[in-house]
Structure 1
Amino acid sequence: MRAIWSGEVSFGLVSVPVKLYSATTSHDVSLHQVHDADGGRIRYQRRCQVCEKVIDYKNIDRAYDDGETSVIITKDELQDLPADESKEISVEQFVPSAQIDSMVLDKSYYLEPAGRSAKSYVLLRRTLEEAERVAVVTFTLRSKTRLGVLRVRDEVIVLQGLRWADELREPEFQIPSSRVSQKEQEMAASLVESYSEDFDPGRFADEYQDQLQTLIEEKLEHGEEIDTEATFGAAEDDQDGGNVVDLMQALKESVDQRRKSSGKSASAGSQKKSA
């Protein structure tokens, strides 16, 4: 794991030297584009629309266009912005975690204590734990000022980025009014109860990525032409045919199916214990 940033958390007059690591990674299989006729790799070029030449990255600036006028922003101008040089994660306030809307949550990072002593790091971690709040912070990463929160996960301080308030969009639609009966509400509550259990992220798998990996392995072993139906089985037809399903009937059948499934799981668990 390689640190992507180093600096310090500013906590009043206390400075906590830290290193920043990305806390998440993508498990998606990486694919590139090729020509379907000959398998040739598709390459993208940075070509100028005025002179039609391919431009080196060192000769590329940025521009903003409001629809009528375009202004060019040079690399030097971007580097001169004051936020670019900041190496500080500044604690702005402590707030109850319930006040952080999940809609604003962004990428997560681990903070590792830097330097010879971890005393200030441990102090901040314990302060967060005992306060039962998260610290709202501002910081600069990759030349952009960002908003985030500090929280504790398994004795490690985690920095979680937040979207700015103006980055959340309001829904541009209205929910039509519809009457839900008491019986339907009770049946829905029963269905929720039948699915209620502790969250275990390890029990879920990305089936698409698993099947994509299987497809790649089959092609590597047997060549380009393989029988996908033999590998994955025939696709199931949609039995409902797009028909409108009665809500109450669907709720009843869902509850019944869940009870049967739970009964089988419980029975299997009892047999394992008795064995």
Structure 2
Amino acid sequence: MRAIWKGAVSFGLVSVPVKLYSATESHDVSFRQVHAKDGGRIKYQRICSIDGEEVAYADIAKGYETEDGEMVILTDDDMAELPSTSSREIAVEKFVPSDQIDPMLFEKSYYLEPEKTGAKPYALLRQALLDADRMAVVTVALRQRTTVAVLRVREDVIVLQTMMWPDEIRQPDFSIDIGEVKDAEVAMANMLVETLAGDFDPSEFEDDYAEAVESLVKAKIEGGEVKKTPTSTKSSGEVVDLLAALQRSVEAAKTARGEATDETSDDDSKPAAKKSTTKKTAAKKTAAKKTAAKKKAS
């Protein structure tokens, strides 16, 4: 893994220099949109919804859309005035009981690795979190934005998990009317829970969809059902096309100047020689006429 951030965890007068690593990665199956006829990738253009013209990347600005649909354009100067921070500190604000934080607030997970000089205070913080069964609520600046996160222990490693802001959690706008619940129904539900009770083991679950897609793709490859497109091969096709285009351009320029091209030089060598001989004969006849005229005049 490659560290994506370096800083220090600070609580009280203790500072623990650490490195930050992304703790998760997505294995979700992704597909590309392609032309069903030949497998070519579908490209998208940046088209303005007002004038219908394609917009260059340099002309694209940030816009904030208000609730009534109006658009406010924000310039680079406007963005520079927004509050940002480049602090390299993970500041512990307080230690809270682990069961007080709703898992729905968790967003992104990172591993914290101590630098060599911070190994001992790192271990002390880790043990303190385990013994107290608490999480450390911290503030940290990632990508120049301050966010709230927690520190917790997972398999002897301190994990930093960024959190969503409270107003980012949506409230359900529906209610559930269950009517009357009988004691017998509750007892049966409890029995079902006890029947299926167990410990969570993530290795028991597999992404059967991703495996099915991989098997399907493998079968199609083995069956020869593959579209050979320029973007899906590592051949030098684009270079060959470029050379061919340049060659055609050179030949067109030579033709425009009346010069022999590479394609016609071999086949037209004899006619070209005849034309040259004809020109020489005509020149001799002209010179003979001029000489005769001078003799008559004398």
Q: Report the TM-score range of the alignment, normalised by the length of the smaller protein.
A: 0.7 to 0.9
Which residue type is aligned with residue 33 of structure 1?
A: Q
Quote the residue 2:33 is aligned against.
33
Which residue type is aligned with residue 41 of structure 1?
A: R
What's the RMSD between the two structures over aligned residues? Answer: 2.1
User: 1:70-219 residue pairs with structure 2 within 5 A?
Assistant: 70-219=71-220
Which residue type is aligned with residue 62 of structure 1?
A: K
State the shift of 1:29 in Å: 2.6
Which residue type is aligned with residue 201 of structure 1?
A: P
Which residue type is aligned with residue 39 of structure 2?
A: G
Tell which structure's C-alpha radius of gyration is larger.
2
- Per-residue CA deviations over 1:94-153 (Å, capped at 9, x if unaligned) read 110100012212221101112544122222212212222100111122233211110011
TM-score, normalization by structure 2: 0.69
Q: Is the 8 A contact 2:106 2:162 kept in 1?
A: yes
Task: Report the count of equivalent residues.
Answer: 224
Separation of aligned partners in 2, 1:113 and 1:79? 33
Q: Which runs of 5+ in 2 are unaligned?
A: 227-298
Are the structure 2 counterparts of residues 59 and 121 from structure 1 closer, same or farther at C-alpha, using a change threshold of 3 Å? Answer: farther
State the shift of 1:77 in Å: 4.0
Kindly report structure 1 stretches of 4+ aligned residues shifted beyond 6 Å.
Answer: none
Are the structure 2 counterparts of residues 15 and 61 from structure 1 closer, same or farther at C-alpha, using a change threshold of 3 Å? Answer: farther
Separation of aligned partners in 1, 2:132 and 2:217? 50
Are the structure 2 counterparts of residues 51 and 185 from structure 1 closer, same or farther at C-alpha, using a change threshold of 3 Å? Answer: closer
Which residue type is aligned with residue 34 of structure 2?
A: V
State the shift of 1:34 in Å: 0.6
200-209 or 5-14: which moved more? 5-14
Q: Is the 8 A contact 2:17 2:118 kept in 1?
A: no
Which residue type is aligned with residue 24 of structure 1?
A: T
Which residue type is aligned with residue 45 of structure 2?
A: Q
Separation of aligned partners in 1, 2:80 and 2:6? 18
Which residue type is aligned with residue 86 of structure 1?
A: S
Q: Which runs of 5+ in 1 are unaligned?
A: 226-275
State the shift of 1:81 in Å: 3.6
Q: Is the 8 A contact 1:48 1:55 kept in 2?
A: no
State the shift of 1:64 in Å: 1.0
Q: Is the 8 A contact 2:9 2:15 kept in 1?
A: yes
164-173 or 79-88: which moved more? 79-88
Quote the residue 2:65 is aligned against.
65
Q: Is the 8 A contact 2:9 2:91 kept in 1?
A: yes
Are the structure 2 counterparts of residues 51 and 188 from structure 1 closer, same or farther at C-alpha, using a change threshold of 3 Å? Answer: closer
State the shift of 1:194 in Å: 1.1
Quote the residue 2:9 is aligned against.
9
TM-score, normalization by structure 1: 0.74
Q: Is the 8 A contact 1:47 1:55 kept in 2?
A: no
Secondary structure at the residue paired with 2:203? helix
- Per-residue CA deviations over 1:54-102 (Å, capped at 9, x if unaligned) read 423x553312121354332234543454433222211111110100012
Q: Is the 8 A contact 2:7 2:90 kept in 1?
A: yes
Are the structure 2 counterparts of residues 87 and 29 from structure 1 closer, same or farther at C-alpha, using a change threshold of 3 Å? Answer: same
Are the structure 2 counterparts of residues 200 and 185 from structure 1 closer, same or farther at C-alpha, using a change threshold of 3 Å? Answer: same
Are the structure 2 counterparts of residues 207 and 115 from structure 1 closer, same or farther at C-alpha, using a change threshold of 3 Å? Answer: same
